Amino acid sequence: AVMPGRIASMPWGPRATLLEKSTLSLLPFILVLLLGGFESPMPVDSAMVLRRSPLPYPPSSNAAERGTGVGVFDAPLDLSFVECAGTNVDARSEPSPAVLLLHGLDSSAHTWRTVQQLLPYPSVAADLRGCGRSPLGDPDVFSVDAVVEDVKRLVDDHPLLQGASDGRRRPIVIVGHSMGGRVAACFAAKYPGDVSALVVEDMDMRRRPASSNPIPLNEDEVLKFDRRKGMAEDVLDTFERAGYPQDMVSRWMEEGRINRIEGGEGSSSNDSCWYWSDVNPIFRLLCYRKFFDSDSGEDTWGAIANDGLTYPIYLMVADKQYTVCDNGSLHKMGEVMGSRVKTKEYLLARHSIHNSAQEDFVKDLLQIIHEVSPKTLSS
């Protein structure tokens, strides 16, 4: 029996022993979204230091980026990120593993802040294009390849992900939550040599038609959405016109997805306080068009299964009350990948497992990192 208030988890194992329902309705996905993604991590008593990339705030208006041609897949964007060097000196010695963390829809690197502070290994949490403090680029050139190439540039350029001074690459465990799981899988399919383990958190690979988006987006308002606002009332109004419930946006303002900035960059005597939204509705709109409402998920999964490599793959699945995954899709993913993939359901965990079941999530992630460590593999 599971005690109220406690998070219980099941051991890694075959999907058939974990996932019994053949289909899941869209209701849990809507519930997760309306409750704001459950970014309520446990407190951290740590001296860990999180460092944000020195990039300035990008252009805030989606409309201003249209027609610029910026951000095509062969000219990737510089992504904003949050890095953490890790607490363990031995873990930072070359070329021990590093962790690359990718967020989902309506989110940013902010979602990983306490996970990073609990890892003794180097970690980098990226703001995907248009999210956090990363530029959007031209929305007309947004594509799967473009998003993947942004991540590739970060992997190739970031010192914590680079590896040893003698040229050896640091093993990278890539973790993607929700939509970030799709991005992580696409990256692994295109650049398998950069991946030592792939972790997909609560996401399947089935086609999701744009009509299934639980947020009824107003496309005209989304396309002209501006991430910078002068007053809290403006933030709420802009999101409401884009299609988001006000109570959801209010929670985001409380938990830090929308930040109140005192002075600083871009401020003036008449604008000493302003708001910046890490959430950009156009990222949701474009991801449904380019990632979800296509066969790219299943095609990507098949490409990974046939790449001839053996790096491990892990599917972390939220409790059946909250998961957005379809059991049929998960079963098919297991059949395609075979013994290379391990699946685990986290009882009582919500869609954001890394926050709602953080202790178990971090424990399992540490075990995954340990298993792909060069020291472990050579022993």
- pLDDT on residue 29: 42
Contacts of 164 (CB under 8 A, 6+ apart): 94, 95, 170
- Give me the chain's average pLDDT, please: 85
Total residue length of the chain:
379
Of the two residues 234 and 6, the one the predictor is more confident about is: 234
Share of the chain above pLDDT 70, in %: 80
Q: Is the Cβ–Cβ distance between 51 and 117 less than 8 Å?
A: no
Give the burial class of 16: count Cβ atoms within 10 A of its Cβ; 0-12 exposed, 13-18 middle, 19 or more buried.
exposed
Confidence of residue 88 (pLDDT cuts 50, 70, 90): low
Mean per-residue pLDDT for 147-158?
Answer: 96
CA dihedral 293, 298, 303, 309 (to 10 degrees): 130
Could you read off the pLDDT of 247-277 as tens digits, one per residue?
A: 999 999 999 999 999 875 544 445 578 999 9
Could you read off the pLDDT of 32-50 as tens digits, one per residue?
A: 444 344 454 444 434 468 9
Q: Where are the domains of the chain?
A: 74-211+281-372, 226-264+272-279
Contacts of 186 (CB under 8 A, 6+ apart): 144, 147, 148, 291, 296, 300
Q: Does the structure show a pLDDT above 70 at 309?
A: yes
Mean per-residue pLDDT for 9-26?
Answer: 41
Q: Is the Cβ–Cβ distance between 139 and 72 less than 8 Å?
A: no
Instruction: List, in sequence order, every residue forming a beta bridge with 83; answer none if it has no partner.
Output: 51, 124
Q: Is the Cβ–Cβ distance between 109 and 57 less than 8 Å?
A: no
Could you read off the pLDDT of 198-207 as tens digits, one per residue?
A: 999 999 999 9
Class in CATH terms, 74-211+281-372: alpha beta
Share of the chain above pLDDT 90, in %: 74
Mean per-residue pLDDT for 52-69?
Answer: 91
Helices (H), 217-326: 219-223, 232-242, 246-255, 281-287, 296-305
